[in-house]
Amino acid sequence: MSILTTLLLTVNETLTAGNAIIAVSLLLFNLTRNLNNRVAKTSAVVLACVAVAYVADAFISLEPDNPAHEIASRLQWIGIAFIPAAMYHLSDALLATTGLPSRGRRKRAIRLLYVLGAAFLLSAAFTDALIQFVAAPVSVSIQAGPAFSLYSVYFLLANAFAFLNLQRARKRCLTPASARRMAYLQIAFLTPALGIFPYSVLLMPGDESSLFGLLVVNTANIIIILMLFFLSYPLYFFGSDRPDRLVKKQLLDFLLRGPATGLIALAVVNFTAQATRILSLPGEAVTPPALVAAVLLWQWFVSLALPYFEKFFIYRDEDDEQITKLQALSDRVLTHNDLSQLIMATTESICDYLRIDTAFVISLAGAKPEFVSQVGSSGYDENSLLHDGEVIQKASQLPADRIKHPYLTWGDMALVPLRSSRAGGNGKEALTIGLLGLLNNDAKIRAELTAPGGYLEAYVNRVETSLDDMHLQAEMYHLLEGLLPQFQMTRSRALQVEYRQSDAFPPRINALPDRGELFEQVRAALRHYWGGSGITQSNMIMLRSVQSRIQNGEETPVNALRKLLKEAIDSLQPEGERNLMSPEWTLYNILQMRFLENRKVREVARRLSMSEADLYRKQRIAILAVTDLILKQEQTHQA
């Protein structure tokens, strides 16, 4: 066997296994999407057929013994037998997205094709009517059986009609974007079927391992790999409720980090393991370090190149500035826990520096003062400090000149005001947003605070900045929490516009709100019950049960919605005297205390004797119960 033939055999093994890796990877990616959509489900069937065929082919390329070779070849027909039916089924689903569902004929054709596929599978698995095994110079060779011509007719007709369905779907697309995606699909649509058709049965025994046969097979495998990647691009838009940009980003990231990494690792293993000597070492000894190096270098390259790939393939002119700002926001914004941990770490550093064992930080931004961090044993009365409005007011009103008025003494503690660098500026009008409590070591604390540029001043400035960021981000989260549920135009609804025939009536949209969307709106409205965008700009105001209150009385829209929510909560109240410990009262108590009384999570969890995690879980159940009650009211008003 020549060196070129050996090289082509190695390339063939790599590409065959690569096709299996890509097909399985795309199938797994497909299974994480919305399988309630017909296109997503049928494309998963197509990918499953391709995956089964190429996995079996990859096993055969490893040259197993003849019995195992024959079993794998017969199992391969699970994909080969059903791929024509799956392709026609996918084309029917794509055609249905354009507003032309089957009136019965295409459904009957799909059932017939799957029955024929099952018949061909049974024939290939248990008889020699479709394929026959003959001896070959290296292993066994597969030849066409008497019934193979029938399978060829079934294959050609099913795929031809599938292609015609896709052509009809492309002509029915209304928008340039949808027509473009359908055109992309047409280019690569038949790739899965043509890629797993058993061409080897048409060759003479042993020709599949010849130089010409290997060149043809390798070329076909390369084209199939490229076409599978290309096919995945337009196919994953169907059934997705996310914008095109996010779909492209997810797919690009998945392809580079998943299948591409697998292909590189497979190529390194195949080519190093078969090499006789590399750098004076046996090929098998070089394989592990070469594999690790290749994977690490590829991941490093992806990390560096992915932003440029995204900018080239996804983000265009007008989006570039917006995306840059959104990415910068994502990089800069920290969670509440992140900032709390940062404030705690800074407080601990202050204790170490001043050689004291007690310190705390109080936030004054909320309705009531609350501790953000506490270090050491609390020898002070926490509740008396939080409820001592006079002391807090005096401390917060200390002049901004820290040299003359560094802190206020409260018992054994020194209260240092923390001021915002945003609200009110840095001068005399700077807003006090918190207090830093330090175990009073008068001489050292006063000396440190009155010395400009000292370490303690730097620590205090860090606490001020962290607390200021925490308050600002809390406002941002509060705003987003109220606004995000109001964005209702999802990708799945946009599909109804993109793929509707111009002379057809628009699809009927259910007048009742979607349960999932309504749940998010109810949750936002409850969290903003006493004010905020979650209730003032809520789409729930358009509900008939709210509009009827507005029309029949003198209620404002917000008050009408607020009363609707309160009545729904009151309807969950059990009979009898209120009991905080009774399971029957749990949902009502959570809603009443969390939203109507506006208590904090920690306080409600303590009063109901449950963990915060358990409280969040039961709070979701309670909000879902309110959502269902509002849905029932809507059904009543529409009846």
- Helix/strand/coil (H, E, C) string of 335-353? CHHHHHHHHHHHHHHHHHH
Burial classification of residue 230, based on how many CB atoms lie within 10 Å of its CB (0-12 exposed, 13-18 middle, 19 or more buried): middle
606-624 burial, b if ≥16 CB within 10 A, otherwise e? eebebeeeebeebbeebbb
Tell me how far apart the alpha carbons of residues 505 and 497 are, in angstroms, rounded to a whole number: 11
Taking 70 as the pLDDT cut, the residues of the chain under it are 1-3, 5, 33-35, 136-139, 202-213, 233, 237-244, 274-281, 283, 315-332, 366-367, 377-380, 400-406, 422-430, 441-443, 446, 449-453, 481-512, 554, 638-639
**CA 204 distance to own-chain centroid:** 50
Q: State phi, psi for 550 to the nearest 5 degrees.
A: -70, -40
* Number of other CB atoms surrounding residue 147 within 10 Å: 17
Specify the pLDDT at position 442: 62
Structure tokens at 173: 């697309």
The alpha-carbon radius of gyration of the chain (Å, integer) is 34
**DSSP 3-state helix, strand, coil percentages of the chain (rounded to 5)?**
65, 5, 25
How many whole angstroms separate alpha carbon 472 and alpha carbon 423? Answer: 10
Q: What percent of the chain has pLDDT over 70?
A: 79
* Count of C-beta atoms within a 10 Å radius of residue 308: 9
CA atoms of 546 and 551, how far apart (whole Å): 9
pLDDT for the residue 95? 87
3-state secondary structure 555-621: CCHHHHHHHHHHHHHHCCCCCCCCCCCCHHHHHHHHHHHHHHCCCCHHHHHHHCCCCHHHHHHHHHH
Q: Please state the pTM of the whole predicted model.
A: 0.58
Q: The tokens of 278 are what?
A: 């590399």
For 423-479, the pLDDT digits (tens) are 554 555 568 888 888 887 666 776 776 666 677 788 888 888 888 888 887 777 777
Q: Please tell me the CATH code under which domain 3-238 is placed.
A: 1.20.1070.10
Token pair in block for residue 543: 């509900």
Integer Cα distance of 397 and 431 in angstroms? 9
Which of 212, 225, 208, 216 has its CA nearest to residue 16?
Answer: 225
**pLDDT tens profile 581-638:** 888 899 999 999 999 988 888 888 888 888 888 888 899 999 999 999 998 888 887 6
> What is the C-alpha to C-alpha distance for residues 80 and 197, in angstroms, rounded to an integer?
7
Q: Domain-by-domain residue ranges, the chain?
A: 3-238, 242-331, 336-479, 515-638
User: Can you tell me the distance from the alpha carbon of 148 to that of 152, in angstroms, rounded to the nearest whole number?
Assistant: 6
Q: Where are the alpha helices (DSSP H) in 236-374?
A: 244-257, 259-273, 283-313, 317-332, 336-354
Residue 29: its pLDDT value, please?
Answer: 80
**Total H helices, total E strands in the chain:** 26, 9
For residue 422, the surrounding DSSP H or E stretch is none
CB–CB of 34/40 below 8 Å? yes
DSSP annotation of 411 reads: T
CA–centroid distance for 149 within its chain: 46
What is the Cα–Cα distance from 224 to 231, expressed in whole angstroms? 10
Spatial CB neighbours of 588, under 8 Å, sequence gap ≥ 6: 569, 572, 573, 574, 622
580 and 589 Cβ atoms separated by less than 8 Å: yes
Cα(547)–Cα(552) distance, integer angstroms:
9
Q: What is the pLDDT of residue 217?
A: 74
Range list of β-strands (E), 62-200: 131-135, 140-144
Whether residue 22 contacts residue 225, with contact meaning beta carbons closer than 8 Å, is answered with yes
Q: What burial letters (b/e) apply to 547-580, b meaning 16+ CB within 10 Å? A: eebeeeeebebbebbbebbeebbeebeeeeeeee
Query: CATH number of the domain at 336-479, out of 3.40.50, 3.30.450, 1.25.40, 1.10.10?
Result: 3.30.450
Burial class (CB in 10 A: 0-12, 13-18, 19+), 146: exposed
Written as six digits, the tokens of 428 are 């005399």
Q: Report the C-alpha gap between 29 and 31 in whole angstroms.
A: 5
